[in-house]
Amino acid sequence: MAAPKVHPPGTRLGHYEVRGILGEGGFGIVYEAWDLRRSRSVALKDFRQRNVRHESSLAARLRHPNIVSLLDVGEANGSVFVVYERVEGPPLAALPIETRRRHLPALAEGLFRALGYAHDAGVLHLDVSPGNVLWAGRPMLTDFGLGALRESASGAVRGGTPGFVSPELRKGPRADLYALGALLWWATTGVTPREECDEKPEELLLHQRELLDALLDPMPERRPSSAWSALARWKGVERRRVPTVQIARTERPPALGRSPVDVAEALQALEASLATGGLVRVSGPRPSGKTALLQGLATRLRARGVPVFSLTARRGIPCGTFEVAAALRRLLPGNGALECTGTTRSADLGGAQMAFYRA
């Protein structure tokens, strides 16, 4: 099939009107277009080669917050195209390295979840790379043009982005995990794993170096068994890094004004955490005044104009503090905080907890 001509703004392709070009590559051209039926902006991908059925059949299986959704497939005026939701955000490759480093936890967790979901649905991506991840406050994986069905995947990987293709060059879930490990390495260091880095990787990657080394192992059988397994390891390391304010047991829970040292320490840890988008855990035996302290901190935040979202668990019922906080983090405004308090059976440190997230 010949390369498609470039459609100028105003061109109609079915019920889509071209507004401009978003990107171009060996696959074809991606246009910003307007859906005249549903009055919405979309991304329309006009193919150079007739692999539209292949990509659309894979993408149609997937509906996930970290995967760009397929909306339509069509043919008009000699063009064969697929239509995706329009994501308001740049490709990861266009983000400054400081931004990538700041959002590395959210980037990693979102892409582990996207791959875990896709693999469970029987779809391999096989080209996880900076150009195929969009950043819209969360990572969104796109372009399954080189992907394959897991059940029928065999043979060598054809194509892919140099520096992000697994060394075994074989199709499989662990090829995607290698590519994601390479992407996280690149997001942090600015270079692919096989390139020299001006800064020492061990100083940049720090606590997650062990997991990244496992993802980038040249022997696929030594990589994590699944994206979910890798995510669990990532979150386990991140949780161990959570700063904790420990409160000693007292005869009687102290009023906020009677524990200035604890308040000062908690506030200092909180403010440091908010600056980096992390969380603070306040923990101690019962009774030790944790709840009163957390309520006082929330009151102070509200007085400073910081929106505080509060979730309290009943005693003995799991609160799911970290899972709920991670889910709600996307809903917070840029300077918001999230409060989670309550006794949880699943907590590794018993008693009330407070997790402050910055969006």
Helix axes 290-303, 260-276, angle to 10 degrees: 60
Distance CA 285, CA 218 (A): 46
In the set 35, 127, 143, 217, the catalytic residue is 127
**H/E/C letters for each residue in the chain?**
CCCCCCCCCCCEECCEEEEEEEEEECCEEEEEEEECCCCEEEEEEEECCCCHHHHHHHHCCCCCCCECCEEEEEEECCEEEEEEECCCCCEHHHCCHHHHHHCHHHHHHHHHHHHHHHHHCCEECCCCCHHHEEECCCEEECCCCCCEEHHHCCCECCCCCCCCCCCCCECCHHHHHHHHHHHHHHHHHCCCCCCCCCCCHHHHHHHHHHHHHHHCCCCHHHCCCCHHHHHHHHHHHHHHCCCEEECCCCCCCCCHHHCHHHHHHHHHHHHHHHHHCCCCEEECCCCCCHHHHHHHHHHHHHHCCCCEEEEECCCCCCCCHHHHHHHHHCCCCCCCEEEEECCCCCCCCCCCCCCCCCC
- Backbone φ and ψ of 208, nearest 5°: -100, 10
- CA of residue 302 relative to chain centroid, distance: 29
Distance (Å, whole) CA 181 – CA 325: 25
**Residue 262 annotated to the active site:** no
Structure tokens at 81: 């195209």
C-alpha to C-alpha distance for 111 and 117, rounded to whole angstroms: 10
Tokens of 240: 């161990």
List active site positions: 127
